[in-house]
A and B are shown apart, each in its own frame.
Chain A
Amino acid sequence: MKNEALIHDGTVSFKGVWKDFGGVPVLRGIDLDIASGEILALLGQSGSGKTTLLRCVNGLEVIQKGTIEVGGELIQDSAKGKNSLSSDIAQIRQSIGIVFQQFNLFPHMTVMENICVAQIKVLGRSEEIARDRARSLLDRVGLLEKAESRPLQLSGGQQQRVAIARTLAMDPRVLLLDEVTSSLDPQMTNDVLRVIGDVAKDGITLIVVTHEMGFARHVANRAVFMHEGVVAEDAPAKELFENPQNENTKKFLAAVLSHQ
Chain B
Amino acid sequence: MDKMTWADLIDFLPTLLHGLAYSLGISAVVIVFSIIAGVCVAFMRVSRYRSVRGPVLAYVEFIRCTPALVQLYYIFYVLPIFGLTLEALTAGIVGFTIIYTAYLSEVFRAAINSVAKTQIEAAISLGMSNQQARRLVIIPQAARVALPPTVNYLLSLIKDTSLLSIITIQEIMFRGLILASQTFKYFTILTEVAFLYFCVCFPLTILARRLEAKFERELGYGKSNGEKKKNFFAVGPWGASKS
Contact = CB atoms under 8 A, between A and B. Distances in A.
Contact of A185 (B116, B132, B226, B231): B231
B238 interface: yes
Interface residues of A, number: 52
Nearest to A155: B231
Nearest to A55: B243
B219 A183 contact: no
A103 B140 contact: no
Contacts of B126: 93-94, 117-118, 122, 166-167, 170
Contacts of A46: 237-238, 240, 242
Contacts of B240: 46
Given A102-B226, A118-B128, A108 B141 contact: yes
Given A52-B242, A155-B231, A102 B224 contact: yes
Query: Which residue, B116, B119, B125, B232, has most C-beta atoms of chain A within 10 A?
Result: B125
A114 B227 CA distance: 16
A104 B128 contact: no
Contacts of A129: none
A110 B134 CA distance: 18
A108 B243 contact: no
Contacts of A94: 126-127
Interface in A159-189: 159, 166-167, 170, 178-179, 181-186, 188
A106 B129 CA distance: 16
A157 B232 CA distance: 10
A185 B233 CA distance: 5
Given A58-B125, A90-B124, A159 B226 contact: yes
B87 interface: no
B242 A104 contact: no
A101 B234 CA distance: 12
B137 A106 contact: yes
A54 to B, nearest CB: 9
B14 interface: no
A238 interface: no
Nearest to A117: B136
Interface string A95-112: 011101111111110000
Interface string A42-65: 000111000110010010100000
A65 to B, nearest CB: 21
A104 B226 contact: yes
Nearest to B119: A104
Given A90-B124, A108-B219, A102 B227 contact: yes
A121 B132 contact: yes
A121 B128 contact: yes
Nearest to B120: A104
A104 B115 CA distance: 11
Contacts of B231: 155-157, 183-185, 188
A108 B227 CA distance: 14
Nearest to A121: B132
Interface string B209-243: 00000000011100011111001110111111111
A47 B226 contact: no
Nearest to B141: A108
Given A46-B237, A188-B231, A102 B118 contact: yes
Given A107-B226, A185-B231, A51 B220 contact: no
B121 interface: yes
A91 interface: yes
Contact of A184 (B124, B129, B233, B243): B233
30 contacts: A3-B127, A47-B242, A58-B125, A60-B125, A90-B129, A94-B126, A100-B121, A102-B118, A102-B241, A102-B243, A104-B118, A104-B122, A104-B226, A105-B226, A106-B119, A106-B123, A106-B137, A106-B141, A108-B218, A118-B128, A121-B128, A122-B126, A152-B219, A152-B228, A156-B232, A166-B126, A178-B243, A184-B233, A185-B231, A188-B231
Given A102-B118, A108-B144, A118-B126, 4 more contacts: A97-B125, A107-B141, A170-B127, A179-B241
